[in-house]
Amino acid sequence: MKVLVTGGGGFLGRYIVEQLVARGEQVRSFGRGSYPDLEASGVEVVRGDIADRDAVLRACQGVEVVYHVAALPGIAMQWRPYEQANIRGTEHVIAACREHGVARLVYTSSPSVTFAGVDQCGVDEQAPYDFDWMIAHRAHYSRSKAIAEQAVLAANDARLRTCALRPHLIWGPRDNHLIPRLIARARAGRLRRVGDGKNRVDTIYVENAAVAHLQAADALLDASSPAAGKAYFLSQNEPVNCWDWIDEILALVDVPPVRKTISRRNAERAGLVLENVYRLLSLSGEPTMTRFLAAQLATSHWFDLSAARRDFGYAPAISSSEGMRRLGAWLRS
């Protein structure tokens, strides 16, 4: 079977590619980079931009399953790049699946599509989107992912079975986004505990997130699959104290725990000032703080995984302690 992974050279995408190769699939990776190591393992690497309709159309030719992982992450203040990459890119993927008769599409979404600035404790997939909150707080990533998720789920039908996965706080070896930023900020003395430090969050080890993608795609083989047209939260299924977890990561590289604290209110005030500066001056990159980020760091968000367990058998195979051991070995290597 030939499969396509958009963003196959990225953090999560690479693990999905590797697991597909390990079970004997013919894998094509689509992204903007060049990845000789993937090619050496037998992966067909196709270069292109997810916002380029024709490039996406060519990439989907001849494949049976698409894992759409590619996305623009972050908290930048310009809407258009998120719209182009995350919304238009996903529309291109859906259209290409239609054009080439692709039977299954698994979309990597985000739990932040249901985040509205308040605690989420044990919520399930019935949690609604709150576009008003996203727009008011310039949560461009969340808003773009929510719109794209809606498009993917709406595309589900007898010819193209789709589902969306929402892995929360992906971490592990080869992380090029979350872990390096935490460590860099802590070493520079710029990491602050936001809020009272009691908030609990879900996380997910990257290999568990990758396995879930394969499980969901396998479930969609069945024309009557309960996974078709649905979204699912994913995690380690063991909420942790957010700041204790961050301190545990910092300890892996002998960085002291976070000591300084800022209230959520003051963090949001600082975030609003920075948001306005970046927006008014059309600055690229990301502010060091935004109202969305302050809310994320100060609130609890953990989820009910019953649906993923029931509909495609998801359960974290790699424990958090084993994941931390592997992460520490990679960070020290």
Q: Which residues are catalytic?
A: 141
| Coil/strand/helix, residue 6 | strand
Angle between helices 89-100 and 140-154 (to 10 degrees): 20
H-helix segments, the chain: 11-22, 36-40, 53-59, 79-82, 89-100, 131-136, 140-154, 178-187, 206-219, 242-252, 264-280, 291-298, 306-312, 320-332
**C-beta separation of 12 from 67 below 8 A:** no
CA 133 to chain CA mean position, Å:
20
**C-beta separation of 200 from 302 below 8 A:** yes
Q: What residue type is 134 in one-letter code?
A: M
The Cα–Cα gap between 70 and 8 comes to 8
* CA distances, 25 to each of 20, 63, 315, 331 (Å): 5, 11, 23, 30
| Coil/strand/helix, residue 28 | strand
The Cα–Cα gap between 138 and 125 comes to 23
CA 250 to chain CA mean position, Å:
22
